[in-house]
Structure 1
Amino acid sequence: MFELSGLLLSAEFQPLLNPHTKEIYGYEALSRFYCPDGTAIAPNIVFEELHAHHELLSSVEMAAKTFQFTHAPQDSVLFVNIDPHAIEFSATEMLSLLRQRDNVCVEIIENTCINDARLAANFIKQLVKFDIPVGLDDVGAPHSMLSIDLVSQVSCLKFDKYWLETAKNPQYHHLISALLSFAKKTNKLTVLEGVETEEQLIFAQDLGVDLVQGFLFKPLFINAKERVLLSPMLTQVC
């Protein structure tokens, strides 16, 4: 049991690097939450509770993205995750915030739920309208399905770590090679997630992805003193 309004909001920035040169291209911003005593609360627990209250979700997501924009490295591309449900009550404010930064890419997770897929598609159309780059996250994850419409609209494909688990399966290898070929021919950035070992890094190099991301590379953490208290307006016992 915890009270949302008592949680501290922070962020972590995971680097995306060139697999050959190790040069950092950008960072993915991830929300982090802590109890007043400093104990970390898994983000999925917080967001699962928030999904039952979309207006509350919108408020927390706006606070999180504002925090991330404030503390992110300014000289690199910033990748941010946005749940389409989170802008139901704050679309105008969120789009205004996103347009304040030139080097930003919005990541959208494709969901198997048809209603969520429609929400994602509508949100992507708004982002494209304002020339905001969009990345499709978790491509190839077991829980996701590949939408031709979404794949055609986005400017970045982020391949799920599941591709690393199937690296020795010829059928999967042919599939990801075909997707990478499509991405290159249509000028889409490609990222392989979940790289944790040197062996997996070599696999990424051989595949020819543009960027890699994973625990093999040290993230940037925000100093504990910079954490902010979620507003009392967000009081929700869960």
Structure 2
Amino acid sequence: MNSIEFKQLILNANYYTKYEPILYKDSLEIYGYEALSKFDINNDVISTEDIFKKLHHNNKLFFELEKRNKQLQVENFDFKSKLFLNFDADIFVTCEQQQFWESFLLEHKTNLVVEITENGSDDETSATIMKNFSLWLKKKSIDTALDDFAQDGSMFSFFMMNNSKYIKIDKSFIKQINSNENYIHYLNGILKTIKLNGQYSIIEGVESKYDYDMIKSLDCDFVQGYYFDTLVTIV
């Protein structure tokens, strides 16, 4: 498939968003929602992660796609609670991109949280792009969340952690604790540090009652995962 065919395939794909709830850990009241995107390409549902891996080498197409996606995610949200939007810093590098996102984000910044995601690369250029994006968001007083903390393959940055209002603990932590309970002490230390820093913690990947029962004793602020989809009404 050539680049033109790939572009048309992506831009014409059926697109939909699921709003996954983020809840207070103890009361299970809804705090906000994360917008999760899917694409239906030739009757095959594909996650954004699979597509974005290819788009990192096509910045213009990546920007066009994400501009459309984010506009739809905002237009279809009622803003009765916080909306968490995933942003890859690679779509914030040119003057055109920066001007568009400044207008877009500032219009909704009271109710938006920008989740800064990684593209899977830990090279110096990617780290610098993420740092610059984080600095810009902080300067504009836009709340941010550090996504996928402790995910396999992700890079750890004190700078990114210190500049985020929310720290999202990756689902890999729950899986590790389920196989080795000693890791719960490591997680307790991370959660304590987050709280001492005046930040908020979100544990992702809660997929069963067993998972939820396991983390009830932890001093985290919010939880997220497929288990809660059956407990709340999705917007």
Q: TM-score, normalising length from structure 2?
A: 0.86
Note if contact 1:14-1:220 (Cα within 8 Å) is conserved in structure 2: no
Task: Call closer, same or farther: CA 1:105–1:73 in 2, change over 3 Å.
Answer: same
Tell which deviates more after alignment, 143-152 or 163-172: 163-172
1:80 and 2:88 are equivalent in the alignment = no
CA–CA separation in structure 2 for the residues paired with 1:84 and 1:115: 11
Aligned-partner residue type, residue 107 of structure 1: E
Show structure 1 runs of 4+ deviating over 4 A. Answer: 219-222
| Corresponding residue of 1:115 | 125
Pick the aligned partner of 1:136 from 122, 146, 160: 146
Q: CA deviation at 1:135?
A: 0.6
1:105 and 2:113 are equivalent in the alignment = yes
Note if contact 2:93-2:129 (Cα within 8 Å) is conserved in structure 1: no
CA–CA separation in structure 2 for the residues paired with 1:118 and 1:177: 30
Tell which deviates more after alignment, 101-110 or 161-170: 161-170
Note if contact 1:55-1:88 (Cα within 8 Å) is conserved in structure 2: no
Q: CA deviation at 1:34?
A: 2.1
Pairs aligned (count): 221
Identity in percent: 29
Q: CA deviation at 1:41?
A: 2.9
CA–CA separation in structure 2 for the residues paired with 1:18 and 1:124: 26
Which secondary structure does the structure 2 equivalent of 1:27 belong to?
Answer: strand
| Corresponding residue of 1:18 | 24
| Corresponding residue of 1:233 | none
Note if contact 2:145-2:166 (Cα within 8 Å) is conserved in structure 1: yes
| Corresponding residue of 1:148 | 158
Task: Call closer, same or farther: CA 1:144–1:171 in 2, change over 3 Å.
Answer: farther
1:29 and 2:35 are equivalent in the alignment = yes
| Corresponding residue of 1:157 | 167
CA–CA separation in structure 2 for the residues paired with 1:145 and 1:42: 22
CA–CA separation in structure 1 for the residues paired with 2:185 and 2:114: 28
Q: TM-score, normalising length from structure 1?
A: 0.85
Which secondary structure does the structure 2 equivalent of 1:201 belong to?
Answer: helix
1:57 and 2:62 are equivalent in the alignment = yes
Q: Deviations over 1:169-196 (max 9, x none)?
A: 4653222212111111121110000000
Note if contact 2:21-2:234 (Cα within 8 Å) is conserved in structure 1: no
1:182 and 2:193 are equivalent in the alignment = yes
CA–CA separation in structure 1 for the residues paired with 2:34 and 2:159: 24
Tell which deviates more after alignment, 5-14 or 65-74: 5-14
CA–CA separation in structure 2 for the residues paired with 1:129 and 1:42: 32
Task: Call closer, same or farther: CA 1:50–1:176 in 2, change over 3 Å.
Answer: same
Q: Deviations over 1:23-67 (max 9, x none)?
A: 0100001222224x7542332232222222101101111111111
Tell which deviates more after alignment, 206-215 or 122-131: 206-215
Aligned CA-pair RMSD: 2.1
CA–CA separation in structure 1 for the residues paired with 2:160 and 2:93: 20
| Corresponding residue of 1:195 | 206
Pick the aligned partner of 1:167 from 177, 184, 189: 177
